[in-house]
Amino acid sequence: MSNPLSERILQMSTSATLAMAAKARELKSEGKDIIGLSLGEPDFNTPDFIKEAAKEAIDQNYNSYSPVDGYADLKQAIIKKFKRDNGLDYQPGQIVVSTGAKQSLANVAMAVINPGDEVILPAPYWVSYSEIVKLAEGVPVEVPTSIDTDFKMTPEQLEKAITPKTKMLWYSSPCNPSGSVYSKEELEALAVVLRKHPGIIVVSDEIYEHINFKNAHHSMAACEGMYDRTVTVNGVSKAFAMTGWRIGYIGAPEYIAKACNKIQGQITSGANCIAQRATIAALEAPVSNIKYMIDKFHERRDLVLKLLGEIPGMNLNVPEGAFYVFPDISYYFGKTIKGKTINNATDFSLLLLEEALVATVTGEAFGNPNCIRISYAASEAELQEAIKRIKEVLS
Ligand code: PMP
Ligand code: GLU
């Protein structure tokens, strides 16, 4: 019998981040002492003031379908957040709340991309971008960057990548996986190019906004001429340690928001009602409420950079945000370690899993074959032990 599955699904790759996390869990359940640094997930609990809001919502009998695009008062909280943190003015019709930023991204892809449309992805990019674009029958156009430009795309590179088929540009800042943050000047310089091509719609994924060690976050939508064609994606998973609550949202031109609302109306009927109520508490609270987590990530970043810096062949940028390091490990290509020849980043990541019992993610999943991603959303003790093991294997 020929394969009964659709071409669409047969051509889709499994999420490398989630696959590695599953593999690490499986090895752990077999009794192996695996340290999981593969998943981008805060190791904190959701703050109590958010949990309390969820408990209250249950007691207040929030149990019905919410409006498809989110509760009106949640949208107001999002509007205030965009104003407070990003200087952006949105109306309720421009906001859509979804089941995680992942769904926000999928909605936007479905709403905007026609078959064959090109979507520029500065690489490294977050693992799901290319698969979501392909699911919408778009064509991902990778623009490779390297550690020399702090893994950021230059305006010249953007200009060169644009063709008559370019429909969108997608990027994250702070970036998953490189931790790089585009400065206001760098965004303005990209906007200069984009202003020459008014048909290009931008997805600015700002889910790591608050995990920024220089406290200098800037939104593409705030750049001159960009508001009317930028979709600002955000969510509560990362900064509020709420990955499992599954709430993301967009601020977008109204016609895009409307289209996303229509998609959700047919596919999910909207996000979980209790999680939406909890998100109001999260967004209305001062950002200082979550500073203890950001400070910890900052300390861990410094620790990880110091410890990895002691290992030869680990070429590191200094990430200004998110909770990942993305070392260029191409120095090891062609070398044989523990009887295993390292030909690429995937071999290297597997070596670390099998010989150091440390789970990381190959850079190939993020469009960069020279690097691996290490998440430092883990305890100091785990990070120290993991890097000690990596050092031993590599020496
Ligand atoms: N964008 C980026 C850059 C991410 O790292 C993640 C992490 N999962 C997401 C979007 C999706 O987040 P969520 O669906 O948990 O809101
Ligand atoms: N965004 C996180 C990561 O990159 C969570 C896993 C996922 O959603 O892919 O690891």
pLDDT number for residue 3: 87
pLDDT number for residue 64: 97
Closest to 293 measured CA to CA, from 114, 34, 94, 47: 47
Ordered strands of the 324-325 beta sheet = 324-325, 372-375, 361-362
Q: Is 235 in the pocket of ligand 2 (CB under 6 A)?
A: no
pLDDT number for residue 14: 86
Do the bridges between strand 230-235 and strand 358-359 make them parallel or antiparallel, or are there none, so unpaired?
A: unpaired
Residue at token pair 């260029």: 328
The pTM for the full model equals: 0.96
| Relative orientation angle of helices 127-135 and 101-112, to the nearest 10 degrees | 40
Q: Which atom of ligand 1 is nearest to the CA of 247?
A: 16
Closest to 42 measured CA to CA, from 290, 230, 224: 290
Q: Which atom of ligand 1 is nearest to the CA of 243?
A: 15
Closest to 112 measured CA to CA, from 128, 131, 132, 91: 132
Residue extents of the structural domains in the chain: 7-45+290-394, 62-286
Closest to 45 measured CA to CA, from 286, 292, 324: 292
Q: Is 19 in the pocket of ligand 2 (CB under 6 A)?
A: no
Q: Find the 366 Cα to ligand 2 centroid distance in Å.
A: 11
CATH architecture entry for 7-45+290-394: Alpha-Beta Complex (3.90)
Helix or strand (DSSP H, E) at 232: strand 230-235
pLDDT number for residue 19: 83
Q: Is 15 in the pocket of ligand 2 (CB under 6 A)?
A: yes
Contact criterion met (CB below 8 Å) for 189 and 224? no
Q: Is 17 in the pocket of ligand 2 (CB under 6 A)?
A: yes
- Per the prediction, the chain carries an average pLDDT of 96
* Ligand number, closest to the Cα atom of 19: 2
Closest-CA residue, ligand 2 atom 4, reads 40
Q: State the fold for domain 62-286.
A: Aspartate Aminotransferase; domain 2 (3.40.640)
Give the SS3 label for residue 46.
coil
Give every CB contact of residue 39 below 8 A, 6+ residues apart in sequence.
17, 18, 20, 21, 375, 377
Q: Find the 176 Cα to ligand 1 centroid distance in Å.
A: 9
Amino acid at 236: V
Q: How far apart are CA 222 and CA 290, in angstroms?
A: 24
Q: Is the peptide bond before 124 cis (omega within 30 degrees of 0)?
A: yes
Q: Is 319 in the pocket of ligand 2 (CB under 6 A)?
A: no
| Relative orientation angle of helices 380-394 and 291-309, to the nearest 10 degrees | 20
Do the bridges between strand 139-144 and strand 201-205 make them parallel or antiparallel, or are there none, so unpaired?
A: unpaired
Q: Which residues of the chain have pLDDT under 70?
A: 1
Q: Find the 338 Cα to ligand 1 centroid distance in Å.
A: 35
Give every CB contact of residue 184 below 8 A, 6+ residues apart in sequence.
216, 218
Q: In Å, what is the CA distance from 170 to each residue of 200, 204, 286?
A: 10, 6, 29
* Ligand number, closest to the Cα atom of 365: 2
Q: How far apart are CA 242 and CA 44, in angstroms?
A: 9
Q: Find the 192 Cα to ligand 2 centroid distance in Å.
A: 31
Sign of the Cα pseudo-torsion (123, 129, 132, 136, in order):
negative
Q: Is 172 in the pocket of ligand 2 (CB under 6 A)?
A: no
Q: How far apart are CA 268 and CA 281, in angstroms?
A: 23
pLDDT number for residue 21: 86
Q: Is the peptide bond before 253 cis (omega within 30 degrees of 0)?
A: no
* Ligand number, closest to the Cα atom of 208: 1
Q: Find the 336 Cα to ligand 1 centroid distance in Å.
A: 35
